[in-house]
Amino acid sequence: MNRGLFYLVSLVLLLGGSGPVVWGQVNQIQNPEFDNGLTSWGTYGAAGFTTSVVSGAHLSGANAALINVTDASVASVGISQGNLKFEKGKKYPIGVTAKADKDREMVILIQLYKPEGPNWIDIVLQHVSLTTKPQTFLFEYTHNDDSMADHPAWVATMYLMLKGQWWPMTGDTVPSKVWLDRVHVGEQPPLVDSTILKAHVPQPADGATVDEIAVILEWLPGDLAITHKVYLGENADVVDAGSMEPMVAIDKRLIVGFTPPYTGGLTPGQTYYWRVDEVNNANPESPWKGDVWNFLVRPLAAWKPVPADGSKFVDPDQDLTWQNGLGLLFHTIYFGENAEQVGTATTGGWMSVDPVWQLDPLQPGKTYYWRVDEFTGLATHKGQVWSFTASAPGGLKAQYFNNRDLSGAPVVTRTDPEIDFNWGNGTVAGENSPDKNVNVNDFSARWTGELAVDLTDTYVFSITANNGFRLWVDGRLVIDYWDNPTTNTRQSGPISLTAGQTYSLRMEYYEGTDAALVQLFWQSAVQNKPTARAREIVPSGAFGPPLKAHSPDPENGALDTAWSLDVAWTAGDKATHHDVYFGEDPVAVAGADATTAGVYRKRLPVGTTSYSPGDLEWGQTYYWRVDEISDADPGSPWKGSLWSFTTANFMVVDDFESYTDEEGSRIYETWIDGWTNNTGAIVGYDQAPFAEQRIVYGGKQSMPLNYNNVDAPWYSEAELAWDTPQNWTVNGIDSLTLRFRGSSTNGNERLYVSLQDSAGKTATAIHPNPDAALATQWTEWRIPLADFAGVNVSRIKKLAIGLGDRASPKKGGAGLIYIDDIRLTKP
């Protein structure tokens, strides 16, 4: 983001309080009420504040975003979301519900980036005054510039800003907290009851480490609670099931330790699980079961070593760090190359007050052992012997492109030891870009290789970058934030990895303008345990070149694939042949060799990286593997990973994914509308992208269907026709299903579907809900084929989706609905 150079603004403040203001446009903001964490949201700024999703703010619904400004001296504070689209001449409602812990201002900013210049334009800039009371701020913005569909490189991003270098505001020099909810560019989300029934905001915080063997448990009570039942134990499943006698609390706090059931105090090194059920005997819905939280009582001995115990990819310049034991005064560190000597040593150690010890450079390939004893003044708690191996550097194959989409040939190919780069925001190629032949702006990169794992654990990967990024591990897409507008971090879900195994890794990144930064981290999914691997850059020693087959298509674990498809992959760098294995038994495919009949399929030559397994069964999971062969390399063969996919148990009529903006493949060229059939329907948009790409149920596109029954012929219909009759009786098909979504401001017209067979016979099914066009959420409509009486469903020639009454048309309303995932299904 940069300073706005000038304004193209028509902005009217409509309301500084609360109330329903709706303009009938779909909200472009994703996750507007933070019901899915901070998904789709980025941060503006990287220090001096935290962002989180909290309950109990009482703005709208259960959740709100909290920006906690802890250091008001930083230059940038806020959250952001990009990929907004504006059309020339249209008006857009914009709003947010917010409050603060003290009176202050906030800036609502939307910037339009134009690569041709001027680069950054503040098209919406509004200061709003926050108080400790919730307020809803609503504005109307008229876009007077060109439609963004005519300029694919234009980017619009919204910022909710508490500090900005070029946007001073009242209260931005002192720490504060601000809560945000109901953010919209388009239709305002409805106000949701914010009554909180469950206990929330636990103290100790969920996953915390405590430093006492007696702990005060505290929480914010549910709004209707009178008393509280507290369950505490050492097993999460037992606590969740409530299989123990609860402790009853009248107040919103309870002391545990030195009281039953832990009269001797809590045990150091033990993780405890607890939950609070809220009780109000006068309410028939009581009790309200709470979430299971946990905390760890700090162990007596040193714990959570860095490097993690057993690590094999340690930088030779690594320092030793660890977590303090409970009540310590100082540490004694023993270090050497012999595990027994380190484990039995009583002299020769080094003392330290801080949990860190600097080492001289280590020898790559050598294993080292260390131990930390903790002295409390009353006792010494001997530490366990930890080990690690210093590694020689490895690396990933890196390819750099002078565009944002990794197209064409790379301009630079090299080995990068790690993904840990900050090229800054300058103009010198090679200093502010990866290489003198790589642009400082508008470049992209792809890293591929093998990831070796030294410790069996459940891992979380995370990426910090500016701008877009995505990551595949073992052929599965685990992080995807390609629309990232600024510096942001995203992490994967938990991924189980096994020591001694290698996994294919592929990461892609692009830099637009502004600073160029990209980093790849890993860590244990659970951090409050003594053996956890702390968050760190994935080390060079864990990486190797891409010698195995990788990047499978379908993606590993893919669901609902076609039954007739080719499987494809990217070849390993040294492969001259590929051995393909395919079958329904994962054990058989994983263990097969070239002599395994039925599983080993064929050897393919270099240059052929796809295989057709033939027609497959519905709803069946298949497994496949590709071994890379090189007769000239002693490391051959490179056994491939076990990949899988599951075929769909339905037949796709149209999922709208195949349409493009190119002449001949536009959505309205397949779906015939009022321009040809003379009804009130218009399919798609009048400017690219012609299909809907934000309001989708599945995949990346849906069909926008405008209807206008105000004018004759007073009904609207979009038609899909086939040259060859379609047989809708195979594999036990019995229903036609589709997903639709409308708007609360639509004209109230009946939704219907018609089928026509090759003999010209037609039947129509009408949605049972007369208000279907008003639905604001995606809704499934499952229509039994038997409802199309008189039509030969083995010879279907035309499908029509309409609004109105085609049999008895009369003047009605207008609106816009979206259609997605039209399928044929069976019980």
**pLDDT tens-place string over residues 31-41:** 999 998 888 88
Q: Is the peptide bond before 307 cis (omega within 30 degrees of 0)?
A: yes
What is the per-residue pLDDT across 454-483, written as a single tens digit (0 to 9) for each? 999 999 999 999 889 999 999 999 999 888
Q: Residue 185 pLDDT more than 70? A: yes
Are 581 and 592 in contact by the 8 Å Cβ rule? The answer is yes
- pLDDT for the residue 808: 94
Residue located via tokens 């951090």 = 527
- pLDDT for the residue 467: 86
CA pair distance 29, 108, nearest whole angstrom: 14
167 burial (CB, 10 Å; 0-12 / 13-18 / 19+) is buried
- pLDDT for the residue 326: 96
Q: Residue 65 pLDDT more than 50? A: yes
pTM: 0.75
- pLDDT for the residue 7: 30
Closest CA to 686 of 659, 672, 704: 704
Confidence of residue 451 (pLDDT cuts 50, 70, 90): very high
Of the chain, the percentage scoring pLDDT greater than 90 comes to 81
CA pair distance 187, 569, nearest whole angstrom: 43
Closest CA to 273 of 300, 297, 298, 289: 297
- pLDDT for the residue 532: 86
Compute the half-sphere exposure of residue 140: CA atoms within 13 Å on the CB side of its CA: 12
The sign of the torsion formed by the CA atoms of 783, 789, 794, 799 equals negative
Are 125 and 109 in contact by the 8 Å Cβ rule? The answer is yes
Task: Output the 3-class SS for 229-268.
Answer: EEEEECCHHHHHHCCCCCEEECCCEEEECCECCECCCCCC
Q: 396-544: what fold?
A: Toxin - Anthrax Protective Antigen; domain 1 (3.90.182)
Are 40 and 31 in contact by the 8 Å Cβ rule? The answer is yes
- pLDDT for the residue 138: 93
- pLDDT for the residue 39: 84
- pLDDT for the residue 1: 39
Mean pLDDT computed over 181-208:
90
Q: Residue 727 pLDDT more than 90? A: yes
Closest CA to 110 of 176, 154, 151: 154
Q: Would you give the DSSP letter of residue 515?
A: -
Distances (CA, A) of 33 to 21, 39, 67, 184, 190: 17, 11, 14, 9, 10
Of residues 226 and 485, which shows the higher confidence score?
226
Q: Which residues have a Cβ under 8 Å from the Cβ of 623 and sit 6 or more positions away?
A: 582, 583, 584, 585, 586, 589, 590, 642, 643, 644
What rounded mean pLDDT belongs to the chain?
A: 92
CA pair distance 799, 734, nearest whole angstrom: 16
Query: Do 396-544 and 303-390 fall under one CATH topology?
Result: no
The strand pair at 643-647 and 558-561 is best described as parallel
CA pair distance 815, 744, nearest whole angstrom: 10
Kindly report the backbone phi and psi dihedral angles of residue 669, in degrees, each rounded to the nearest multiple of 5, phi listed first. -85, -15
Compute the half-sphere exposure of residue 502: CA atoms within 13 Å on the CB side of its CA: 19
Kindly report the backbone phi and psi dihedral angles of residue 4, in degrees, each rounded to the nearest multiple of 5, phi listed first. -65, 135
What is the per-residue pLDDT across 271-299, written as a single tens digit (0 to 9) for each? 999 999 999 999 999 999 999 999 999 99
- pLDDT for the residue 117: 76
- pLDDT for the residue 16: 40
- pLDDT for the residue 20: 37
The strand pair at 396-401 and 380-381 is best described as unpaired
Of residues 218 and 62, which shows the higher confidence score?
218
What CATH number belongs to 550-648? 2.60.40.10
- Gyration radius (Cα) of the chain, Å: 31
Q: Which two tokens stand for residue 749?
A: 């017209």
What is the per-residue pLDDT across 546-596, written as a single tens digit (0 to 9) for each? 999 999 999 999 999 988 899 999 999 999 999 999 999 999 999 999 999
- List, edge to edge, every strand of the sheet that includes 200-203: 200-203, 215-220, 253-256
Helix (H), strand (E) at residue 765: strand 762-766
Q: Which two tokens stand for residue 589?
A: 């495919």
- CATH 2.60.120.260 applies to domain 652-825: yes
CA pair distance 150, 156, nearest whole angstrom: 14
CA pair distance 183, 696, nearest whole angstrom: 19
CA pair distance 623, 625, nearest whole angstrom: 7
Confidence of residue 322 (pLDDT cuts 50, 70, 90): very high
Are 744 and 773 in contact by the 8 Å Cβ rule? The answer is no
What CATH number belongs to 11-185? 2.60.120.260
Are 138 and 124 in contact by the 8 Å Cβ rule? The answer is no
Q: Residue 14 pLDDT more than 60? A: no
What is the per-residue pLDDT across 371-400, written as a single tens digit (0 to 9) for each? 999 999 999 999 999 999 999 889 999 999
Q: Residue 706 pLDDT more than 70? A: yes
- pLDDT for the residue 11: 44
Of the chain, the percentage scoring pLDDT greater than 70 comes to 97
The strand pair at 703-708 and 682-683 is best described as antiparallel
Q: Residue 8 pLDDT more than 80? A: no
Q: Residue 746 pLDDT more than 80? A: yes
Confidence of residue 22 (pLDDT cuts 50, 70, 90): very low
What is the per-residue pLDDT across 594-651, written as a single tens digit (0 to 9) for each? 999 999 999 999 999 999 999 899 999 999 999 999 989 999 999 999 999 999 999 9
- pLDDT for the residue 740: 98
Are 302 and 351 in contact by the 8 Å Cβ rule? The answer is no
What CATH number belongs to 200-297? 2.60.40.10
CATH class of 303-390: mainly beta
| Alpha carbon distance, N-terminus to C-terminus of the chain | 52
Q: Is the peptide bond before 338 cis (omega within 30 degrees of 0)?
A: no
Q: What type of residue is 78? A: G
636-642 long-range contacts, CB within 8 A, separation 24+ = 636/574, 637/579, 638/547, 638/548, 638/549, 638/572, 638/574, 638/575, 639/548, 640/548, 640/549, 641/474, 641/475, 641/503, 641/504, 641/548, 641/549, 641/550, 641/556, 642/586, 642/589, 642/590
Distances (CA, A) of 301 to 210, 266, 268, 330: 14, 16, 9, 12
CA pair distance 644, 623, nearest whole angstrom: 4
Query: What is the DSSP secondary-structure string of 91-139?
Result: EEEEEEEEEESS-EEEEEEEEEE-TTSS-EEEEEEEEEEE-SS-EEEEE
Domain extent listing, the chain: 11-185, 200-297, 303-390, 396-544, 550-648, 652-825
Q: Is the peptide bond before 204 cis (omega within 30 degrees of 0)?
A: yes
Confidence of residue 15 (pLDDT cuts 50, 70, 90): very low
Is 824 strand, coil or helix? strand
Mean pLDDT computed over 325-347:
96
CA pair distance 355, 378, nearest whole angstrom: 19
Is 674 strand, coil or helix? helix
Lowest mean pLDDT segment, chosen from 8-22, 118-132, 346-360, 797-811: 8-22
Q: Residue 4 pLDDT more than 50? A: no
Helices (H) and strands (E) in the chain, counts: 5, 60
Partnered with residue 505 across adjacent β-strands are 449, 473
Are 445 and 435 in contact by the 8 Å Cβ rule? The answer is no
What is the per-residue pLDDT across 132-179, written as a single tens digit (0 to 9) for each? 999 999 999 999 999 888 887 788 999 999 999 899 999 999 999 999
